[in-house]
Amino acid sequence: MKFLKAGNGDSFLLSFKDDELNRNILIDSGIESTYYNSSTNNYGDLKSEIDNIKDKKEVIDLLVLSHIDNDHICGLTEWFSRDEDAYKLIKNIWFNSGKTIAAYFKEPENKDLQIELKVFTNPQTGVNEAIEFENYLLKHKIWDKKIVIQGDVVEDHGVKIQILSPDKAQLIKLLKEYKKVTGDDAYTAPKEKDWGKNISDYIKEENEDGFKFLQDNSPKNGSSISFILTINKKNFLFLGDSHPKAIVSCLEQMGYNKENPLEVELLKISHHGSKSNTNKELLELVKTDNYFISTDSTEHNHPNKRTLARIISVNPNAIFHFNYEHVRNELFSTQDRQDFQIKALFTKELNFK
């Protein structure tokens, strides 16, 4: 499992071998510079991993686009715009587009959900054609337009994936309420980093009477495809930018509770560690020691230290994994390390047998 440097976004590559072939699942693609940074003229981790897959004559068996935020999808659109053969590497895509959501509910399409792709903007082709992203996927037959929704279970090549979100209500909310002008999720982040306060202070504050958890209400984030991935009897939980109350409800319906939590090898924390996307109820339903947070802490000043305090209050043995070393180094204070046995790692990849 590789954790790509995706700026303030997400991008993960899972590679495994079944009885036949080496398989690859790509979850999200980060911001544009995850593939190519035009300001520095440098390629990023996504380009390196794609080239590696090509060199090994493998494919991306499944590409999961959790939702339409730029920090999850723009690495992919950058790749498509620079590589006219990109589609040949992808065998299947999970993506809840505006068109498919509208068709599923037999509702009018929300034009704000359309994504344009500038195809082939590199100097070698000299072409600058704008097409709809969905039409590109359909043209190259790498997308079946199937809605991915809570309750779906897919088993293939020794992998089982159980979809936790979105549910129908979350997809309807995206279709009805999303507006490009007001769609930015920045309001779920602080105006400045909250790293100056100690972990113990956050824990004390949240244990006091009257503390109220305020959940993110972004339609985009709520529409995230989140899931349990199971391989070799090991579970992994990927939460995209999902809303915690929806995930809690789904896990409880599946029979999990504080006394019988879902056991996972790793939990990918929702929305880059935002304080509005992880609550104690969720943390108490998931048993793990490995918590991964993907962000370089630009744009929205994630992660919130308050989120990490919640995790420590539930699990003092938590191991935090970060894909940027400066975030790992700067987040915890000297006092935090004196008060708790902080375990924080800069992690490029993890191997599971």
Burial class (CB in 10 A: 0-12, 13-18, 19+), 165: buried
Mean pLDDT in residue range 222-247: 97
Task: Report the alpha-carbon distance of residue 339 to residue 335 in Å, rounded.
Answer: 6
Mean pLDDT in residue range 175-195: 68
Task: Report the alpha-carbon distance of residue 236 to residue 91 in Å, rounded.
Answer: 22
Which value, in Å, is the radius of gyration of the alpha carbons in the chain?
20
Instruction: Give the pLDDT of residue 175.
Output: 94
Q: What percent of the chain has pLDDT over 70?
A: 93
CA neighbor of 89 nearest in space, from 160, 147, 13, 19: 13
Q: Which residues contact 160 (CB under 8 A, 6 or more apart)?
A: 153, 154, 229, 230, 231
| Mean pLDDT of the chain, nearest integer | 92
Instruction: Give the pLDDT of residue 121.
Output: 53
Instruction: Give the pLDDT of residue 292.
Output: 98
239-276 pLDDT, tens digit each: 999 999 999 999 999 999 999 999 999 999 999 999 99
Give yes or no for residue 200 having a pLDDT over 60: yes
Instruction: Give the pLDDT of residue 179.
Output: 84
**144 vs 92, 212, 246, 263, 280, CA distance in Å?**
8, 42, 26, 32, 37
Range name among 32-36, 248-252, 296-300, 307-311 with the lowest pLDDT average: 296-300
Strands in 120-277 per DSSP E: 129-132, 153-156, 159-165, 226-231, 234-238, 262-263, 266-268
* In contact, 96 and 147? CB cutoff 8 Å: yes
Mean pLDDT in residue range 141-168: 95
Instruction: Give the pLDDT of residue 210.
Output: 85
Give yes or no for residue 209 having a pLDDT over 90: no
Range name among 121-125, 295-299, 334-338 with the lowest pLDDT average: 121-125
* In contact, 229 and 238? CB cutoff 8 Å: yes
Q: Using DSSP bridges, classify how beta strands 319-322 and 290-293 pair: parallel, antiparallel or unpaired.
A: parallel
- Which conformational region is residue 57 in: left (phi greater than 0), alpha (psi within -120 to 50 degrees), or beta? left
Strands in 105-239 per DSSP E: 116-119, 129-132, 153-156, 159-165, 226-231, 234-238
Task: Report the alpha-carbon distance of residue 162 to residue 166 in Å, rounded.
Answer: 12
Mean pLDDT in residue range 278-303: 96
The amino acid sitting at 169 is A
Range name among 9-18, 30-39, 180-189, 318-327 with the lowest pLDDT average: 180-189
Instruction: Give the pLDDT of residue 120.
Output: 57
Task: Reduce the DSSP state of residue 19 to 3 states and report it.
Answer: coil
Instruction: Give the pLDDT of residue 219.
Output: 94
Banded model confidence at residue 182, pLDDT cuts 50, 70, 90: very low
Give yes or no for residue 296 having a pLDDT over 70: yes
- Angle, CA 141 vertex, CA 139 and CA 144 arms, to 5°: 110
More confident position, 189 or 338: 338
Instruction: Give the pLDDT of residue 186.
Output: 42
Give yes or no for residue 188 having a pLDDT over 90: no
The amino acid sitting at 85 is D
Tokens found for residue 67: 């939702």
* In contact, 87 and 106? CB cutoff 8 Å: no
Instruction: Give the pLDDT of residue 180.
Output: 75
Task: Reduce the DSSP state of residue 237 to 3 states and report it.
Answer: strand
Banded model confidence at residue 127, pLDDT cuts 50, 70, 90: low
Mean pLDDT in residue range 230-234: 95
* In contact, 140 and 87? CB cutoff 8 Å: yes
Instruction: Give the pLDDT of residue 132.
Output: 85
Could you state, in order of their start, the residue ranges of all structural domains in the chain?
2-148, 165-346
